[in-house]
Amino acid sequence: MTKYESIDYNPLGVETDSIINKGSFAAVVARAGVGKTSFLVQVALSYMMNRKKVLHISLHDSVKKISLWYKEILKDLVDQNIVDLHGTPLDLLLPYRFIMTFKTDGFKLPNFVERFSDITEQEIFLPDVLIIDGLPLDETTQDLLKEIKAFAIQKSLPVWFSGHIHRDEDPGEDGTPSPFFHVADNFDAVIQLQPKEKKVYVEFIKGLANDSTIHVDPSSMLIKKA
């Protein structure tokens, strides 16, 4: 038993795969500690359950810590009956994920491309989607984002990012939070996690129509509906 059937899990109400096209960017932006990483892990899991291979790149956590995120979130999804694995052992999902970590200041596209070639040229892992967690999305990374965009288009890969925003800085002219507005043009879908009272609301700033029933449960960090 080395394969499993696709498992129905689309936490954002539409097929995750359809939110952005190949070569396009999506961003999940929020203040520190609101749950960007766990949100991205759920996005990644929805791809994996649809048998799409996810290359998860983290610029701040270790491989061990990220593996733990996946394990815990998947366990919660099953325990809370959000996902039915139909008896599929969790291990069978693992070949659909590859974690790469880099130090933030050491993340340069040529380095990444070299690592990417290491796994793709030997067909060790051929990703269908990239998740980049921890790259600052502000004026300092404008050029880097352009380079990543060109790479994503060349390799036909959709890319999901997380972005840190500051509430005490003025937003852009169109209300896009700071400092993300400096690079917002590069993105086709933008989701903002907005903590209000006891809930964390999931607001689509760009790309999808808002579904006010979708939120993040702050106790489990799981994306839920209604």
Partner 1 sequence: MEYNIEKIRNIGISAHIDSGKTTLTERFLFYTDRIHAIHEVKGKDGVGATMDSMELEKERGITIASAATYCEWNDYQINLIDTPGHVDFTIEVERSLRVLDGAILILCAVGGVQSQSITVDRQMRRYKVPCIAFINKCDRNGANPDRVTQQLKEKLGHNAVVLQVPIGMEADFKGVVDLISMRAIYFDGENGEILRYEEIPADLIDKAESLREELIDEISLFSDELTDAILEESEITDTMLISAIRSGTLARKMTPVFLGSAYKNKAVQPLLDAVIKFLPSPKDIENEALDMSADEAPVMLSHNLDDPIVALAFKLEDGMYGQLTYIRVYQGTVSKGDTVKNIRTGKTIKIGRLVRMHSNQMEDISSIKAGFIGALFGVDCASGDTFISKHLDLSMTSMFVPEPVISLALLVDDNKSRINMSKALNRFTKEDPTFRTFVDEETNETIIQGMGELHLDVYVERMRREYEVKVETGKPGVAYRETITRRAEFNYIHKKQTGGAGQFGRVAGFMEPVTDEEFVFENKVTGGSIPTQFISSCEKGFLSCMKKGPFLEFPVSGIKIVINDGASHSVDSSEMAFQSAARGAFREGYNRAAPVIHEPIMKVVVETPTEFNGPVMGLLNQRRGMIVGSQEDGVMSTIEAQAPLAEMFGFSTVLRSSTQGKAQFTMEFFAYKQVPKSIAEEIQKK
The C-alpha atoms of residue 166 and residue 30 are separated, in whole angstroms, by: 8
The partner residues of 89 in beta bridges, in order of sequence, read: none
- Cβ distance to partner 1 smaller for residue 42 or 101: 101
Minimum distance from residue 137 beta carbon to partner 1 (Å): 21
- Cβ distance to partner 1 smaller for residue 89 or 172: 89
The C-alpha atoms of residue 33 and residue 145 are separated, in whole angstroms, by: 24
Minimum distance from residue 23 beta carbon to partner 1 (Å): 24
The C-alpha atoms of residue 58 and residue 30 are separated, in whole angstroms, by: 17
Minimum distance from residue 99 beta carbon to partner 1 (Å): 3
- Cβ distance to partner 1 smaller for residue 97 or 164: 97
Minimum distance from residue 90 beta carbon to partner 1 (Å): 12
Residues 6+ apart with CB under 8 A from 155: 116
Minimum distance from residue 48 beta carbon to partner 1 (Å): 14
Residue 96 identity: Y
- Cβ distance to partner 1 smaller for residue 116 or 160: 116
Which residues are at the interface with partner 1 (CB under 8 A)?
1-2, 56, 62-64, 66-67, 91, 94-95, 98-103, 106, 111, 114-115, 117-119, 121-122, 124-125
- Cβ distance to partner 1 smaller for residue 66 or 183: 66
Using CA atoms, how far residue 127 sits from 32, 48, 96, 97, 101, in Å, is 28, 11, 8, 8, 16
Minimum distance from residue 143 beta carbon to partner 1 (Å): 21
Task: Yes or no: say if 28 and 223 are a contact pair by the CB < 8 Å rule.
Answer: no
The C-alpha atoms of residue 55 and residue 52 are separated, in whole angstroms, by: 10
The C-alpha atoms of residue 23 and residue 97 are separated, in whole angstroms, by: 19
- Cβ distance to partner 1 smaller for residue 8 or 118: 118
